[in-house]
Amino acid sequence: MKKSKLKYRITSHKNGNEVIQDLDLKALYKQAVRKKWQKIPGQPYQCKILDVKLNLASLPKEREQWRNVRLLFVRGNAEVEKQETGKHDWAFS
């Protein structure tokens, strides 16, 4: 993924009401991923899975074409000896 102006539609529930927001990647990460990591049992990685909708319309005047997309954010330890994962420790292969 690259940082862009592409909007992701996320649905959340607050006080029994459904809240729909269109967020760019930076705002999506800040609101739904940061500080909400989940440990992967038996692995030195943390992850966060988000189900969002993505608009495939390429022009603003085109009819909206929302598609369901699952985003997987993963980060891991750079060193096996480290107990905690830091913000700069991303999983890669």
**Tokens encoding 2:** 């690259």
Q: Is the pTM of this model over 0.75?
A: no
Strand blocks (E) in 1-93: 8-14, 17-23, 38-39, 45-55, 66-76
Q: In a structure prediction context, what are the per-residue pLDDT tens digits for the chain, which is 93 residues long? A: 666 778 889 998 889 999 999 998 889 999 888 889 888 888 888 899 999 999 888 777 888 889 999 999 888 765 555 556 566 665 554
- What one-letter code names the amino acid at 74? V
Residues whose CB is less than 8 angstroms from the CB of residue 25 and which lie 6 or more positions away in sequence, other chains included: 1, 2, 3, 4, 6, 8
Pick the closest to residue 83 from 47, 33, 49, 46 (CA basis).
46
